[in-house]
Homo-oligomer: A and B are copies of this chain.
């Protein structure tokens, strides 16, 4: 955790960044099953170097997901600064989906033990909270129906993203049409009585742990 202890760290830090970035790309392209050797090769380092930084493949995945997560939190924060909550809201969902569409790994990871990691839980919690607050404003504005929760939204986002991923090669961007459909279902005019009560935040977090 100490970062400035050794001067050498300059090189190491660069290497570390390089590894995470490359892992990001490779996992995004090939999914969670990509071999570490592919990452090492593309990053121009030895596999050993990866293991020096990350005790296991899972740890590297967590780092990559954290990276992704931070981008998401940033997107949420930016959205919250907008005056027009309704529009900002739609754009945020779009951004979130785009992130998963372009990152097969992120999509793969959802519903996995990986997301139960302390660091990730904290991070996603932040995103969650931010999203809830934006949602509340959009609901107050009358842009979004009152009976949906932040958990519902995350569900919708992941659904559209995952399904969109399979179309991306043959019809890039086709998911935007389906996001449109989903958004129509979130408008107050569309509201009918929903079956079941919303899941709690606790349940949502537990869900991520997968089997």
| Residues of A that sit less than 8 Å from B by CB | 29, 110-111, 148, 152, 155-156, 158-160, 162-167, 169-171, 173-174, 176-178, 180-187, 189-192, 194-199, 203-204, 206-208, 210-211
- Report whether B163 and A158 are in contact in the complex, using a CB–CB cutoff of 8 Å: yes
A-B contact pairs, 24 of them (CB 8 A): A148-B181, A155-B164, A155-B167, A156-B163, A156-B178, A158-B166, A159-B160, A159-B162, A169-B210, A169-B211, A170-B203, A170-B206, A171-B207, A174-B196, A174-B199, A176-B195, A177-B195, A177-B199, A180-B192, A180-B194, A184-B192, A185-B185, A187-B190, A189-B189
Tell me how far the C-beta of A187 lies from the nearest C-beta in chain B, rounded to whole angstroms: 6
Known: A178-B152, A181-B152, A190-B185. A166 touches B208 (CB 8 A): yes
Q: Are A210 and B166 closer than 8 Å at their CB atoms?
A: yes
- A110, B159: Cα distance in complex, Å: 13
Cβ contacts under 8 Å, A194 to chain B: 177, 180-181
Q: How far is the CB of A106 from chain B (nearest CB, A)?
A: 13
- How distant is the Cα of A180 from the Cα of B181 in the complex, in angstroms? 13
Residue of B nearest to A167 (CB): B207
Identify the interface centre among A148, A166, A182: most chain B CB within 10 Å of its CB: A166
Please name the residue on chain B nearest to A179 by beta carbon.
Answer: B195
